Amino acid sequence: MARIVNANEEIQVKKKRKRISNFKIDVDILLLVFSIIVKVRNIASRIPQIQCQVRRSTTRLGHEYIQNALVEDPEHFRHLYRMYPDVFLKLCSIISVKMGLKDTRYVSVEEMLAIFLFIVGQNSRYIQAQDRFKRSRFSISTSFHTILKVLNALAPSYMAKPETTAPPKIRDCTRFYPYFKDCVGAIDGTHILAMISGKDSSSYRNRKGQVSQNVLAACNFDLEFIYVLSGWEGSAHDAKVLQDALTRNSNRLQVPEGKFYLVHCGYANRRNFLAPFRSTRYHLQDFRGQGKDPVNQNELFNHRHSSLRNVIERIFGILSQGSSSSNLLHHFRIKHKQS
């Protein structure tokens, strides 16, 4: 019995010693952690403070600015945003009703559209839009891309459709009728500057040495776009871009049965596309002046062909003069081509 009591006492003594030992270890660990914290605080106190950039506070200044601009000078508004106030408000109504775009918590539809038109119409940088509308760069970028997506989805419903009857310009002129009675418009390509980085930049360099994208467009004789295909490399030939437009799965160029477009001699003379005679005077300036009238049937055809196809050059000229958008894409990287 005495042996059992002694054994129990020894066990209790060992447990007590173990608890004391564990307590000393815990105290040592706490002291070590405390010393590390003190050292870190001393080191941090010697490091200069870095002021973090404060995010621009959310305001209604941009909304108030555009509301005031709408009721002030209409001509000044048109100069800045490329449309009169009544047209601007009508466009806001269309994208709100048809596309379901709504005001966000801080940015109205009118302000989003104004930001987009200011950047496109004036070829402005984000920093300029930030200063004008008093918004952060994130807010400006979000508004721009939101309107861009909405207009991209809305555009097809407002593109002109090819006419099934002879256009008035052809029907009312004996120089063109009945020879071009089945013509619905003209097709050509134009180059828009682009920003391309890396190894892909060489394929976007056109014959003038500029980095650009080759944009195919078709229009009617009322100066209305019928079809647009953008995104091809600047080095791509016009005929290759046209072939893609005819065979692509989406956004395909469709020519009505029995109709044709006028094209320049860089395209092949084929079904639905009428090109002029090669190695023959063609451009209108070649026929200007005394003694420069057409001398044979080929030159006469080319002269009338050029007179009609000139509409596509006119619409490109109006686009480049009326807006700075032809240079806009130079400041935005191309992520997806052939769209």
User: With bands split at pLDDT 50, 70 and 90, how would you rate the model's confidence at 16?
Assistant: low
Asked whether the bond before 276 is cis by omega within 30 degrees of 0, the reply is: no
Tell whether the model's pLDDT for residue 333 goes beyond 60. no
Has residue 252 got a pLDDT over 50? Answer: yes
pLDDT at 48 > cutoff 80: no
What is residue 234's DSSP assignment? T
Q: Are 181 and 168 in contact (CB under 8 A)?
A: no
H helices of the chain, in order, are: 2-46, 61-71, 74-81, 85-97, 109-122, 126-133, 137-158, 168-171, 238-247, 297-322
- Cβ(196)–Cβ(329) under 8 Å? no
Please report the pLDDT score of residue 63 as a whole number. 80
Cα Rg, the chain, nearest whole Å: 35
Mean pLDDT of the chain: 82
283 Cβ contact partners less than 8 Å away, ≥ 6 residues apart? 306
Predicted confidence at residue 339, as pLDDT, reads 45
Average of per-residue pLDDT across 135-157? 90
Q: How far is CA 18 from the centre of its chain?
A: 74
- pLDDT of 148: 92
Q: Which residues contact 83 (CB under 8 A, 6 or more apart)?
A: 91, 117
Average pLDDT over residues 4-24: 59
- Out of 163-172, 302-311, 330-339, give the one with best mean pLDDT: 302-311
Of 231, 245, 242, the C-alpha closest to 266 is: 242
Q: Is the pLDDT of residue 220 over 70?
A: yes
Q: How sure is the predictor about 222, in pLDDT bands with cuts at 50, 70 and 90? A: very high
Average pLDDT of 85-108?
A: 91
Per-residue pLDDT, 250: 84
**What is the C-alpha to C-alpha distance for residues 235 and 256, in angstroms, rounded to an integer?**
30
pLDDT top residue among 123 and 253: 253
Region 77-101: what's the mean pLDDT? 91
- Contacts for 256 with CB less than 8 Å, ≥ 6 apart: 162, 164, 184
If pLDDT is split at 50, 70 and 90, which confidence band does 54 have?
very low
Residue 230 has what pLDDT?
A: 87
φ, ψ (nearest 5 deg) of residue 152? -65, -35
Angle between helices 126-133 and 61-71 (to 10 degrees): 80
List the domain boundaries for the chain. 61-158, 168-331
* Separation of alpha carbons 128 and 336, rounded Å: 26
> In sequence order, what DSSP letters do the residues of 51-87 get, joined into one string?
PPPPPPPP-SHHHHHHHHHHHS-HHHHHHHHSS-HHH
Q: Is residue 180 within 8 Å of residue 308, measured between CB atoms?
A: yes
In which band, very low, low, confident or very high, does the pLDDT at 329 lie, cut at 50, 70 and 90?
A: very low
